[in-house]
Amino acid sequence: MKQFASELKGKTVMTDDGEILGILEDFIMDTRTGKIESILVSPADTVETRLFKTDPQGRLILGFRTMRSVRDVIVTDIAEKP
- Give the tens place of pLDDT for each residue, 25-73: 999 999 999 888 999 999 999 999 999 999 999 999 999 888 877 778 8
The superfamily (CATH) of domain 5-80 is PRC-barrel domain (2.30.30.240)
Q: Provide the pLDDT confidence category of residue 80 given band limits of 50, 70 and 90.
A: very low
pTM, rounded to two decimals: 0.82
Q: Residue ranges of the domains in the chain?
A: 5-80
Q: Please provide the distance, in angstroms rounded to a whole number, between the alpha carbons at the two ends of the chain.
A: 30
